[in-house]
Amino acid sequence: MTADEVVQAVREGRDLSGYDLSGLDLSGRDLRKARFAGTDLSGCNLRGADLRGADLREANLFEADLRGAKLAGATLAGANRTGTRFNKWGLKGAYLTGPPAYVED
C-alpha cells in the first residue's frame, strides 16, 4: 500500500491489522482511530502524525520515528518499540505496557 492508500483506508474505517506497511512515510498524516494491531510499521516515518485513539497493540514499531506524533488515547500494549523515537509530550495519554520507550525531549 502507498501512504495515500493507508490514509484513505483509515478514513473509511478499514481495519489494517496485520498489514505490512514497513518503511512508509506517513509523516503529518491524519491516522486518528487507525486499526494497526499487529501491523508492521517498522522504519515508518510517523513524525507529526495524528494517531489519537489508534489501536497499535502488538504492532511492530521497530526504529519507527514518532517524534511529534499525537498519541493521546492510543493503545501501544505489547508493541515492539525497540529503537522507536518518541517525544515525551507525544506519549501523554497513550496506553503503554512493556519496557520503557526511547524518548527524546
How do residues 69-93 score in pLDDT, each as one tens digit?
Answer: 999 899 999 999 888 888 766 666 6
Q: Give CA–CA dist 42/49, Å, rounded.
A: 15
Residue 99: is its pLDDT beyond 90? no
Is pLDDT larger for residue 34 or for residue 99? 34
- Structural domain that includes position 67: 1-105
**pLDDT, averaged across the chain:** 89
Q: Per the structure block, which three cell numbers stand in for 65?
A: 520515528
Give the per-residue pLDDT at 87: 79
Query: How many domains does the structure of the chain reveal?
Result: 1
CATH of the domain at 3: 2.160.20.80
Give the per-residue pLDDT at 93: 64
Total-model pTM: 0.88
CA angle 100, 94, 52 (to 5 degrees): 140
